[in-house]
Amino acid sequence: MGHFLVEQGNSLVVIEHNLDVIKTTQWIIDMDPEGGMHGGEVIAAGTLEDIAR
Q: Give the range of the structural domain holding residue 37, as residue numbers without chain letter.
A: 13-52
Give how many domains the chain has, as a whole number: 1
Task: Judge whether 44 lies within some domain.
Answer: yes
Task: Judge whether 32 lies within some domain.
Answer: yes
Using the predicted structure, report yes or no on whether residue 53 has a pLDDT greater than 90.
no
Q: How far apart are CA 12 and CA 27, in angstroms?
A: 11
What does the pLDDT read at residue 1? 65
Task: Judge whether 1 lies within some domain.
Answer: no
Task: Judge whether 46 lies within some domain.
Answer: yes
Task: Judge whether 45 lies within some domain.
Answer: yes
Q: How far apart are CA 1 and CA 11, in angstroms?
A: 12
Task: Judge whether 2 lies within some domain.
Answer: no
The model's pTM is 0.72
Using the predicted structure, report yes or no on whether residue 3 has a pLDDT greater than 70.
yes
